[in-house]
């Protein structure tokens, strides 16, 4: 298995995308140390992974608490012998769908603060351990607004840019110690909880919004959670040993071509 005997720490693993990634890494043999501010979500995920033959433990850790994160990382390194993978997936508490001119300062800056503080805290905590052991992979996840200007994204856009820049900075400093740092940029997954709930409660307005996102892509679809999980699995493994300091785009082409509306190519047989 790709991640046999690898120790993976997750922060904010209680969401649907985090769960999909955790399941993929566990299936590949990784030992998971799942943390979340509220332990209930990760306890449920841990129990599910164990029931499927995987190895997982749940912890109540606030990724914005520097002391708690440092102690948690140090304890896991001591208990497990190494920290091979670190993934921060905490909720940024962003508000989208509101024009910037109508958004409050607090609603705009909150996701930026949460992104900056949590990714600095978790990335540096894992980085210190990985530097000493001479190996490790630090992963993060952003979305389309991290690469292009996207309307009605609120503070989520600058938060994504910030995460990607923290990832790049860590990669440049930790690379000489054998540590890789990579960010994944998603286009939003229609099977993730936020989109499923939007369709359920938002009616035709939500469906039209999702249709627009699909139309903005080259592939005319959005990446599923499985696509993001498989990308994370690949990047966490030795198959991606030469990849660091980049954002891997899994937006189905949204970042490359906003509002991509070129018609299908007509093939004419002569």
Dump pLDDT digits (tens) for 44-63. 999 999 999 999 999 999 99
Q: Give the pLDDT confidence score for residue 270 in this predicted structure.
A: 44
pLDDT of 267 over the 50 cut: no
Q: Give the pLDDT confidence score for residue 212 in this predicted structure.
A: 82
CB 247 within 8 A of CB 183: yes
Q: DSSP readout, 8-69? A: EEEESTTSHHHHHHHHHHHHTTPEEEEEESSHHHHHHHHHHHHHTT-EEEEEE--TT-HHHH
Q: Give the pLDDT confidence score for residue 264 in this predicted structure.
A: 55
CB 9 within 8 A of CB 86: yes
Q: 149 falls in which pLDDT band (50, 70, 90)?
A: confident
CB 250 within 8 A of CB 187: yes
Q: Give the pLDDT confidence score for residue 182 in this predicted structure.
A: 98
Right CATH for 7-188+224-249 from 3.30.56.10, 3.40.50.720, 3.40.50.460, 3.30.70.980: 3.40.50.720
The stretch 28-36 carries a mean pLDDT of 98
Please tell me the least confidently modeled range out of 21-30, 34-43, 142-151.
142-151
Q: Give the pLDDT confidence score for residue 120 in this predicted structure.
A: 98
Question: Backbone dihedral region of 189: left (phi > 0), alpha (psi from -120 to 50 degrees) or beta?
Answer: beta
Domain segments of the chain as ranges: 7-188+224-249, 189-222
Is the alpha carbon torsion for 113, 116, 122, 124 positive or negative? negative
As a whole number of angstroms, the longest Cα–Cα distance in the chain is: 71
pLDDT of 113 over the 50 cut: yes
17 CB-contact burial (10 Å; exposed 0-12 / middle 13-18 / buried 19+): buried
Of residues 219 and 124, more confidence is placed in 124
The stretch 229-236 carries a mean pLDDT of 98
Q: How far apart are CA 247 and CA 20, in angstroms?
A: 20
Q: What is the pLDDT of residues 73-110, one digit of tens each?
A: 999 999 999 999 999 999 999 998 899 999 999 999 99
Q: How far apart are CA 258 and CA 142, in angstroms?
A: 17
Of residues 103 and 203, more confidence is placed in 103
Q: 261 falls in which pLDDT band (50, 70, 90)?
A: low
Q: 268 falls in which pLDDT band (50, 70, 90)?
A: very low
Q: Give the pLDDT confidence score for residue 183 in this predicted structure.
A: 98
Q: What is the pTM of this model?
A: 0.92
Q: 262 falls in which pLDDT band (50, 70, 90)?
A: low
Looking only at the bridges linking them, the beta strands covering 136-143 and 85-88 are: parallel
pLDDT of 263 over the 80 cut: no
Q: Give the pLDDT confidence score for residue 257 in this predicted structure.
A: 61
Q: How far apart are CA 194 and CA 91, in angstroms?
A: 12
């Amino acid at each position: 298995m790709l991640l046999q005997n690898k120790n993976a720490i997750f922060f904010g693993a209680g969401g649907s995308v985090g769960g999909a990634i955790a399941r993929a890494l566990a299936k590949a043999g990784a030992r998971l140390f799942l943390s979340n501010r509220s332990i209930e979500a990760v306890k449920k995920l841990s129990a599910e992974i164990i029931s499927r033959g995987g190895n997982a433990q749940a912890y109540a850790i606030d990724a914005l608490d520097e002391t708690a994160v440092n102690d948690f990382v140090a304890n896991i390194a001591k208990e497990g012998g190494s920290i091979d993978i670190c993934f921060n997936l905490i909720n940024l508490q962003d508000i989208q769908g509101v024009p910037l001119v109508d958004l409050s300062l607090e609603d705009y800056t909150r996701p930026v603060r949460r992104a900056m503080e949590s990714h600095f805290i978790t990335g540096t905590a894992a980085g210190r351990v990985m530097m000493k052991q001479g190996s490790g992979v630090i992963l993060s996840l952003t979305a389309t607004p991290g690469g292009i200007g996207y309307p009605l994204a609120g503070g989520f856009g600058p938060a994504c840019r910030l995460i990607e820049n923290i990832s790049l900075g860590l990669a440049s400093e930790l690379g000489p110690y054998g540590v890789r740092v990579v960010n994944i940029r998603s286009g939003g997954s229609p099977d993730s909880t936020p989109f499923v709930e939007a369709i359920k409660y938002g009616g035709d307005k939500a469906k039209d919004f999702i249709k627009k996102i699909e139309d903005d892509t080259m592939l005319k679809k959005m990446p599923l959670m499985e696509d993001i999980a498989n990308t994370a699995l690949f990047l966490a493994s030795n198959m991606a040993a030469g990849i660091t300091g980049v954002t891997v785009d899994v937006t189905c082409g949204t970042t490359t071509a906003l509002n991509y509306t070129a018609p299908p190519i007509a093939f004419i047989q002569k």
